[in-house]
Structure 1
């Protein structure tokens, strides 16, 4: 169904011409927006992560791209640290691991997956820095490579000591230790107090019969009423 628009002056041909141009303009605009959306690439990483000294941390990552992969894409995942395109610490294709991370880096990723996890074991204070994931792959337009621009800032915190975690156990141990220390040696004050009480009791036992006898004799000698 077509909409006929008559312009002043009676020239309907011009109206048809304008109507024909509108779909073309709309189509061009749509293609431009679609092109901008599709022709993008990047790497997703968390901005910040925190790990405990002596523990481990996992840095998840994912990537996307607009190109059609070559028959043999030869995907490679590289990890760098400190700054953009900084020091190389890991290369998935060659198996390279930086000396500082020997035996402590594990990459959970297999080609052609577009997401994975980098795990760092036995964290220490020197691991505190920014980590960048870098992607290399073959496409039908040649080799393409890109990486995260912001990376992941990793902070390391000190592990809480066992004494801080279990104060009641520590208190109990201290109390027990105190009892053990005093078990073989009595308090002198307690010894003196016991001796005094013993003397008082003994004195009372000796004096009481004498007082009883004196009271009895006094009662016998008192004049009769």
Structure 2
């Protein structure tokens, strides 16, 4: 508050001149976004007969006679804007007093007026009648996820095809293994069958081997009887 009062007292001797020879040009309306930055441009002119040795730039808010938020020569920045106002103008060579407000807040929505103060053969100050209305809007909705690009879709399709090929090869391998096992089982059964058949054939031959002995016994008995 003390700083504001000092600035007002400083500006009391300044003669406010608004006319064709002294003018301040500002954009009527600007729109900013919360969290972003915005430049509020200001340019001015003065008559050729006026020879300022020094030019200072002030900025007010609310109305033409509102509170000061910026003073170039005193490096003053209102506490609400501290660390968020940068001076982009060149008052001496380009006749500009543009400022930038960073990290915009919803409470920054207001009217802003640029006041030019010149010190030369006499002290004068002039500013715009309308100022610049800054409208602040909130950030937009969160964007929806982007659709899959053709390359991603193609890669997914290719991977699906590879999975199908691997599945088909697995099924074929299982079928081949089953067939091989089936063939082994058939061969094993045939071998068992042949072995059983051979045992049946050999049995009568073993029985016939006893017949000579039996016959020999019969002949002995017959010989004994003859004696």
Provide the TM-score with structure 2 as the length reference: 0.53
Query: Given the alignment, which residue of 68, 76, 92 partners 1:96?
Result: 76
User: SS at 2:80's partner residue?
Assistant: helix
Unaligned runs of 5+ in 1: 1-37, 170-225
Instruction: Identify the residue that residue 79 of structure 1 maps to in structure 2.
Output: 59
Following the alignment from structure 1 to structure 2, what is the Cα–Cα distance between the partners of residues 135 and 116?
8
Instruction: Identify the residue that residue 31 of structure 2 maps to in structure 1.
Output: 50
Task: Kindly report which structure 2 residues correspond to 1:186-205, keeping only aligned pairs within 5 A, or say none.
Answer: none
1:171-203 C-alpha deviation (Å, 9 max, x unpaired): xxxxxxxxxxxxxxxxxxxxxxxxxxxxxxxxx
Following the alignment from structure 1 to structure 2, what is the Cα–Cα distance between the partners of residues 149 and 111?
20
User: SS at 2:54's partner residue?
Assistant: coil
Q: Across the two proteins, how many residue pairs are aligned to each other?
A: 128
Q: Does 1:150 align with 2:130?
A: yes
Unaligned runs of 5+ in 2: 1-18, 148-227
**Structure 1 residue 116 displacement after superposition:** 4.0
Following the alignment from structure 2 to structure 1, what is the Cα–Cα distance between the partners of residues 71 and 88?
13
Which of the pair has more CA radius of gyration?
2
Following the alignment from structure 2 to structure 1, what is the Cα–Cα distance between the partners of residues 26 and 72?
18
Moved over 4 A (4+): none
User: SS at 1:159's partner residue?
Assistant: coil
Query: Given the alignment, which residue of 106, 114, 118 partners 1:133?
Result: 114
User: SS at 1:49's partner residue?
Assistant: strand
